[in-house]
Amino acid sequence: MPIAHDRSAHSAEDPERVVAALLTASRLLVAIAAKSLAAVEETLTLPQYRLLVILDSRGPSSLAGLAEALDVNPSTALRMVERLTAAGMLEKTVNPARRREVQLRLTGAGWQAVREVTEHRRTELSRIVAAMPAEERGRLVSALEAFTEAGGEMPEQLPVLPGWH
């Protein structure tokens, strides 16, 4: 049963209300992501999945490039890369432009994991969106697009499902 919230207490423009709403939504989104990961690959962590998504969306990368994209130390990125390589989700190749540099790329298994987790997330998010009032969906899309653009996140490149325009 959804919990009723007093929306009149603060205006929608109040930064504290926006932050509180985002914190609540982020808890839900993290729970959906964790549940989707567990359904596909129990040993894959959220940070490791994020690394796979970055490689999927941006293509092959150096370790330094991945560490920067993930905003982690290179040693942290290296540990993640080693685990994902051992799991068969990443492969290391020589960068043809810089023969001393190793490029990291998804294997078929890594690509498949990203697709399956994304599909699980899509299914759960579709269920939640379908429960929302239709008139709220357009405002939600606009707000989320502005939020993710301000945060520098790459837009999702999945096809639009029929009826979700």
Amino acid at 131: A
Using CA atoms, how far apart are residues 144 and 62, in angstroms rounded to an integer?
A: 30
Domain membership flag for residue 155: no
Asked if 90 and 81 touch (Cβ cutoff 8 Å), the reply is yes
Token couple for 92: 């290391």
Using CA atoms, how far apart are residues 125 and 159, in angstroms rounded to an integer?
A: 15
Domain membership flag for residue 19: yes
Would you say residue 160 has pLDDT above 60?
no
65-94 mean pLDDT: 94
pLDDT band for 162, please (50, 70, 90 cuts). Answer: very low
For residue 24, give its domain range.
Answer: 15-140
Asked if 117 and 36 touch (Cβ cutoff 8 Å), the reply is yes
Token couple for 68: 């920067």
Asked if 102 and 92 touch (Cβ cutoff 8 Å), the reply is yes
Asked if 15 and 30 touch (Cβ cutoff 8 Å), the reply is no
Token couple for 159: 């096809």
Token couple for 74: 């290179």
Domain membership flag for residue 162: no
How many residues would you count in the chain?
Answer: 165
Using CA atoms, how far apart are residues 136 and 112, in angstroms rounded to an integer?
A: 33
Q: What is the pLDDT of residue 75?
A: 94
Number of domains in the chain: 1
Domain membership flag for residue 113: yes
41-65 mean pLDDT: 92
* Comparison of pLDDT for 23 and 9, the residue scoring more: 23
What CATH number does residue 36 fall under? 1.10.10.10
Using CA atoms, how far apart are residues 74 and 81, in angstroms rounded to an integer?
A: 10
pLDDT tens per residue across span 19-37: 998 999 999 999 999 999 9
